[in-house]
Amino acid sequence: MATLMDRVRAYLRSPKGRQQVEKAKRMARDPRNQQRARSFLERFRGRRH
């Protein structure tokens, strides 16, 4: 039986998986999304202390 990581790796090698990776990379380069991520992390870290 394939492990979860094996299944994830297989998906990422598939055409659909490669499309999703490229989409994620494009989104990560967007300054607006970078700011959203920073804001989320700041809020998340703030709640833990």
Contact 21, 13 (CB under 8 A): no
**Domain assignments of the chain as residue spans, ordered by start:** 14-48
Contact 12, 6 (CB under 8 A): no
CA gap 32, 26 in Å, rounded: 12
Q: What is the CA radius of gyration of the chain?
A: 16
> What is the per-residue pLDDT for 48?
59
Report mean pLDDT in 10-residue bins for the chain, 49 residues. 92 97 97 95 80
- 3-state class of 35 per DSSP? helix
